Structure 1
């Protein structure tokens, strides 16, 4: 018998494992992460003084705001205590957002709120976004209400009056309309401004059959309005600490813009009427 030949299988060549490349996935990710960590630490160290100042500034700013609020609260209490017996009220606009009128009853959880002025219009073309809701809400909450117009010196005065008249329907028991003037004109003289103000006041008085009230700052009042508009009643804004009492010739005094009122988020302006609630009702529309 012949020998059977046996075929030998060729030897299996094992592929050598590739060494992990420096730029392979896992190594690359670890390297990049380490680089960014070192970069952050390096930048933090390099700018350590600036960062320390920044965080110190932010911290100091918060502390300063808290201190300002505390001082403002102290003044609010002092002023309100000095005017015990006088009617206290607010003025609001769309900047107070949505107001829960059913909760608007006390100032600083202590002093009753009796009245509110509500912004209705701005210039010759803009309505306050919250006017309708605020106007009805104040009435439902049994607050004595009034509406005011923010006057733009560089726009037609009669068009501004027409917008206010179209927007605001005053009822029995409402306060007289208010003209809010705070700025000087850019494209006309002060004399021309005064002519425009008088035209607005005359048009509004003829429509509502009641003389409007003028709102402005104390400096503006002294410099531009006090003498020539002396036959009008004034609502004056002055937040300065030296002012502790309402002047005899002021109908209303807006003494702060940093008060807390139930039902309203954030700060709100507060006003004192130069008389008690019964006297306030006396000047409302009959």
Structure 2
């Protein structure tokens, strides 16, 4: 028997699905996701740059502390205040360097001495001499590069820095994460630097880093060392007992120094400050 063929149905089928609108499509949700992800990345750009190593010398934070610098200093007015400097301070009139803005006396000065395994700070010798002439308590620090040889870095510091009684112990400044080694290998390198430098100067070095770096990578493995911690976003009425020095700002002002300068609080009085100095 012959079968009668069905004619094709013209127009839209009753069972065909309606086309999705743009707002229901995967493209829309993809764009939303990319936008939100970009916002998060941008808001944390400084922190990411710090951890990935794109910041070369200064620790930068994504937020700003709401408490004015003056209130932080007033809260710790019984403690000892100081600054730290490097070749990045363009011009210094040492005859005027006496106080942080607001009348807070400067008692100590840390100066960057060396960088990595082969370079001295271009202004270290000049600044060291001037700070000594002004009778500031002086300290020298080494900017550690995680991907360079730790022994060579220790020798670079020793070659350029002479410390005497009344100076701060040597300082190891570690801010960046390594690109070519694990965290465990980094810690081995840091301990090697600390051991060599301690043996040479006869005193345990101070470790400088940010609060987050200290918490995440250093606190548990270097607890026998004094710490100098940078924390610009927090306001502490009581400084952690494990912190010998708190770097409270990179945006302080001081007479005689062009531009901004780092401000620090020693976690003790002018009298107790002598306890940490080289004997």
Structure 1 residues without counterparts, runs of 5 or longer: 1-70
Relative to 1, partners in 2 of residues 1:74 and 1:101: Cα closer, same or farther, differing over 3 Å?
A: farther
2:196 is matched with 203
Equivalent of 1:179 in 172, 176, 179: 172
Per residue, is there more helix in 1 or in 2?
Answer: 1
Instruction: Provide runs of 4+ in structure 1 moved above 6 Å.
Output: 71-74
Equivalent of 1:220 in 210, 213, 235: 213
What do residues 79-118 of structure 1 show as CA deviations (whole Å, max 9, x unaligned)?
0000011000000000002322221101114100000110
Structure 2 residues without counterparts, runs of 5 or longer: 1-63
Is 1:161 aligned to residue 154 of structure 2? yes
* TM-score of the pair, normalised by structure 2: 0.75
Write the mapping of 1:1-286 to structure 2, written as runs, cut at 5 A: 75-286=68-279
Name the SS for the 2:127 alignment partner.
Answer: helix
Name the SS for the 1:224 alignment partner.
Answer: helix
Name the SS for the 1:197 alignment partner.
Answer: helix
Relative to 1, partners in 2 of residues 1:263 and 1:72: Cα closer, same or farther, differing over 3 Å?
A: farther
Q: In structure 2, what is the Cα distance between the partners aligned to 1:167 and 1:75?
A: 37
Name the SS for the 2:95 alignment partner.
Answer: helix
CA displacement at 1:72 relative to structure 2: 7.3
Q: In structure 1, what is the Cα distance between the partners aligned to 2:234 and 2:175?
A: 21
Q: In structure 2, what is the Cα distance between the partners aligned to 1:144 and 1:249?
A: 21
* TM-score of the pair, normalised by structure 1: 0.73
Q: Contact 1:120/1:131 (CA < 8 Å) preserved in 2?
A: yes
Q: In structure 1, what is the Cα distance between the partners aligned to 2:194 and 2:91?
A: 30
Q: Contact 1:97/1:130 (CA < 8 Å) preserved in 2?
A: no
RMSD: 1.5
Relative to 1, partners in 2 of residues 1:186 and 1:280: Cα closer, same or farther, differing over 3 Å?
A: same
Q: In structure 2, what is the Cα distance between the partners aligned to 1:255 and 1:233?
A: 17
Name the SS for the 1:251 alignment partner.
Answer: strand
What do residues 29-82 of structure 1 show as CA deviations (whole Å, max 9, x unaligned)?
xxxxxxxxxxxxxxxxxxxxxxxxxxxxxxxxxxxxxxxxxx979611100000
1:33 is matched with none
CA displacement at 1:141 relative to structure 2: 0.4
CA displacement at 1:249 relative to structure 2: 1.4
The range that moved more, 102-111 or 244-253, is: 244-253
Structure (1 or 2) with the larger CA radius of gyration: 1
Name the SS for the 1:94 alignment partner.
Answer: coil
Name the SS for the 2:122 alignment partner.
Answer: coil
CA displacement at 1:219 relative to structure 2: 0.4
CA displacement at 1:282 relative to structure 2: 2.2
Q: Contact 2:65/2:235 (CA < 8 Å) preserved in 1?
A: no
Name the SS for the 1:239 alignment partner.
Answer: coil
